[in-house]
Amino acid sequence: MRLVLFQPDIPQNAGTIMRLAACLGAGLDIVEPCGFVLDDRRLRRAGMDYVDRLDWRRWPGWDTYRRADHAGRLILLTTRAAVAYTEWRFRADDRLMVGSESAGVPEEVHEAADARVAIPMRPGFRSLNVAVSAGIVLAEALRQTGGLKTEV
């Protein structure tokens, strides 16, 4: 299972998602451009000591990512989905994509996704923080697929 960050804007969220992926054993793809400089020094600061233990890759843009040969389905987390993440049946090789904090993802990314899932919320609320959303859905996907290999 992999998390995919589409053009992240906020380095603190990217760092939180890096830690999330490392701690739960998921891979991470960052589709650039980012709204911040993505270099070794900043990555180490954002991801702390987890970066060295994270299976991650950066992609120079959507076209490069889209054309690459990936395993699994691309599942987009979006408020525009008709299916709740709790109703979706995840697979161990799924790629869970979250959009940028300021703009989400463009229509072409929506269309390229194999599926779109949403986190149900109370009426009148627009969205959750991207790192929180990634954590909620990743935990459920790993639970469903037996991928949570943690010590308690």
Q: Write the pLDDT tens digit of every residue in 55-96.
A: 999 999 999 999 999 999 999 999 999 999 999 999 999 999
The reported pLDDT for the residue numbered 51 is 77
Residue 52 confidence (pLDDT) above 60: yes
Could you please report the per-residue DSSP string of 37-68?
---HHHHHHHHGGGGGG--EEEES-HHHHHHS
CA distances from 89 to 61, 75, 82, 83, 149 (A): 29, 11, 14, 11, 19
Domain count, the chain: 1
Domain residues for 76? 2-145
Task: Note whether residue 66 is domain-resident.
Answer: yes
What is the percent of the chain with per-residue pLDDT over 90, rounded to a whole number? 77
Q: Is residue 152 part of a domain?
A: no
CATH number of the structural domain spanning residue 129: 3.40.1280.10
pTM over 0.75: yes
Distance, in Å, from the CA atom of 29 to the CA atom of 57, rounded to the nearest integer, reads 5
Report if residue 136 sits inside a domain. Answer: yes
Please indicate, yes or no, if residue 150 is contained in any of the structural domains: no
Terminal Cα-to-Cα distance of the chain (whole angstroms)? 21
